[in-house]
């Protein structure tokens, strides 16, 4: 049985998790993905142009099959066959994987953008809820009264907020007091608000303390 020291001598290959995660998004088969991993492993071992035979030895494929898959990857614009000069000026070939990583970068960027859009959409909805207390109050009155409000009743709630400048939380407290008294009309809620105003109660906490004492 091989020891860990023996395994260490073989070395380790750094593999991009994005390739493992998104190869199917690139419409690559498992065999094509494995071949790309082998090319990356050879590259990290400073063999930039492994032969079909070398690749075949690492996979359950013949050199002919390896050659065909490489051509397919080139046709799909996943890899390129490049050329460069070595230190002695001789032209050498190499497999260029930059196209692959550029495509993976694009997928990641698109996913990040989609996540940002979803976050912004959620934030917008939450913000609308925060800045539109009128609709929230209308909804709460309709639930407590067990019916839809008339346009005039909606205007009265709007007047409490925009003309009288009542805190929406104070209006909710007045509604709660009306429901506890089993009086389901706007005049009663308005009288509660006016009474609190006469007592100089201008915050929800002041009103809660006042209600606890009385």
**Each residue of 9-25: pLDDT tens digit?**
666 777 778 888 889 99
List of residues 6+ apart from 56 with CB closer than 8 A? 62, 63, 65, 66
User: Quick one: 191 exposed, middle or buried, by C-beta within 10 A (0-12, 13-18, 19+)?
Assistant: middle
How large is the average pLDDT for residues 53-72? 94
Cα–Cα distance for residue pair 78/98, rounded to 1 Å: 8
What is the Cα–Cα distance from 210 to 214, expressed in whole angstroms? 6
Handedness of CA 189, 194, 195, 201 (dihedral sign): positive
- Is the pLDDT reported for residue 64 higher than 80? yes
182 pLDDT more than 60: yes
pLDDT-derived band at 8, boundaries 50, 70, 90: low
What was the pLDDT predicted at 89? Answer: 82
pLDDT at 178 over 80: yes
Distance separating the N- and C-terminal Cα atoms of the chain: 84
Q: Is the pLDDT of residue 127 over 60?
A: no
Q: What mean pLDDT comes out for the span 140-165? A: 91
Q: What pLDDT score was predicted for residue 117?
A: 57
> Is the pLDDT score of 30 beyond 90?
yes
Mean pLDDT of 85-105: 88
Residues recorded for the chain? 214
**What are the phi and psi torsion angles at 4 (to 5°)?**
-65, -35
176: pLDDT strictly greater than 70: yes
Q: What is the pLDDT at residue 120? A: 57
Provide, rounded to the nearest whole percent, the portion of the chain with pLDDT above 70. 86
Instruction: Check pLDDT > 60 for residue 130.
Output: no
């Amino acid at each position: 049985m091989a020891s860990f020291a023996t395994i260490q001598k073989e070395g380790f290959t750094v593999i991009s998790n994005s390739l493992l995660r998104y190869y199917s998004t690139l419409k690559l088969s498992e065999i094509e993905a494995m071949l790309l991993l082998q090319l990356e492993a050879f590259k990290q071992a400073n063999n930039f142009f492994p032969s079909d035979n070398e690749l075949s030895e690492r996979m359950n494929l013949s050199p002919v099959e390896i050659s065909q898959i490489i051509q397919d990857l080139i046709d799909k614009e996943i890899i390129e066959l490049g050329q460069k000069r070595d230190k002695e000026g001789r032209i050498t070939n190499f497999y260029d994987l930059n196209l692959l990583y550029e495509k993976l970068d694009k997928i990641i960027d698109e996913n990040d953008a989609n996540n940002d859009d979803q976050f912004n959409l959620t934030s917008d909805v939450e913000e609308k809820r925060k800045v539109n207390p009128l609709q929230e109050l209308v909804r709460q009155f309709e639930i407590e009264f067990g019916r839809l409000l008339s346009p005039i009743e909606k205007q009265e709630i709007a007047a409490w907020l925009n003309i009288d400048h009542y805190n929406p939380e104070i209006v909710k407290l007045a509604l709660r007091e009306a429901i506890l008294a089993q009086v389901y009309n706007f005049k009663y809620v308005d009288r509660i608000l006016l009474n609190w105003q006469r007592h100089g109660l201008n915050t929800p906490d002041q009103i809660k303390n006042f209600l606890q004492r009385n």
